[in-house]
Copies of this chain bind each other. A is one copy, B any other.
Amino acid sequence: MEANLNEKAECTVIIRAAHDAMDVLNGKWKIPIIAVLCFSKKRYSELLNEIKGISGKMLSKELKDMELNLLLKRTVLSTQPITVQYELTEYGERLKVAIEQLAIWGTAYRKEISAK
């Protein structure tokens, strides 16, 4: 019963915490964006090119969302014409571990499912 209580408590905590995380990562594009930015900072147009299928509108929207959620930092460079750099914050960086685990699972899953 002690074990049962602990299980229940732990379960509830995980559910809520995972939900918090997914709330911040909602939508189709946030994980791909973070995955790209895990390796280096990028400009808007670089992201647009490297994330296949995303539209400019969605990229803008997602980037704005993530900036508000403190996942990434936006920097306007005074080049001519101006360019904008996006990079992960510490919060964003720390998501890398979770995303890697998802990717590891996804890789194995795809492989085994397709071998069916």
A77 interface residue per 8 A CB criterion: no
List residues of A (53-90) whose CB comes within 8 Å of B's CBs. 70
A15 touching B106 by the CB < 8 A rule?
no
* CA–CA, A11 and B94, complex, Å: 16
In the complex, A97 has a CB within 8 A of chain B = yes
Residues of B within 8 A of A98 (CB): 98, 101-102, 104-105
Complex contacts, A40 vs chain B, CB 8 Å: 7
Asked if A99 CB lies within 8 Å of chain B CBs, one says yes
Residues of A within 8 A of B (CB): 7, 10-11, 13-22, 24, 31-32, 35-36, 38-40, 50-51, 70, 91, 94-95, 97-110, 112-113
